[in-house]
Structure 1
């Protein structure tokens, strides 16, 4: 088995193999970056919790079950992660006025400050990495990634139905 990247062009299987290879590389780099971003937010933050914080930042007063569905984890895992984030003073819960059993989750002011700082650093890094790209190329990449994410979501739903 070759360790070099498959070449583009050729058969459909070759093209899919090339996509698979490049996505694998992208995902490995994203995991490593997520670990750096988590450490930037808080030295004791687990890398898997960073996307959770980013989602809460974008959706203040979100319910835990909605976060769990978005992230793709069970209720128990979500409860443990949120408890840890509370211990680190990054999130806070308040009663859900529409559901007496539920709680709404939001970042604490300190959590928001730290997540925003990490976002700025991440965008600075991405901007430097894509510094030679034109705005049109960056826009095209964003459009294609959005299309890929939508198609992967659709395929995933079909597979579980």
Structure 2
């Protein structure tokens, strides 16, 4: 494959444009999870919700590519808002894991359900084959980006 992207198809621009729209919609919906939840902290909350057995703060920092102090501030904010709690790490009695409270998990699940419905609506005039190709392409792009970005 050539290293040049087609001039009439600016993939980076279109991805950025879509991410901005998704972020804007997310910002308008965060109050459903907690009225004082900000978008930056929300990304940390999603990482915790996606780790049903719990996750260490250092693991979140690594996963999101941020400094440990940034993760620490976000974790403190979520604890203060009552969104998460700490539980003992079964593999290391000195450490703690972060878990989302059950009501937080429910609110995040509802947020994701609504997001899914919005996306379904955006794709309602696509054929099943187009949706499947798009999903496979996004998966491939994300898998490649995981090690490169």
Same-fold call, TM cutoff 0.5:
yes
Note if 1:39 corresponds to 2:12.
no
- Normalised by the size of structure 1, how large is the TM-score? 0.81
- Report the number of matched residues: 146
Counterpart for residue 97 of structure 1: 90
- 1:106-133 deviations in Å (ceiling 9; x for gaps): 1101111211111111111111111112
Give the drift of 1:27: 2.0
Distance 2:96 2:74 in 1: 15
Higher RCO (Cα < 8 Å, 6 or more apart): 2
Counterpart for residue 22 of structure 1: 14
Counterpart for residue 145 of structure 1: 138
Q: What CA RMSD, in Å, does the superposition of the two structures yield over aligned residues? A: 2.0
Report if the CA contact (8 A) 1:35-1:46 is conserved: yes
- 1:80-126 deviations in Å (ceiling 9; x for gaps): 11111111111111121322332111110111121111111111111
Structure (1 or 2) with the larger CA radius of gyration: 1
- Normalised by the size of structure 2, how large is the TM-score? 0.86
Counterpart for residue 51 of structure 1: 43
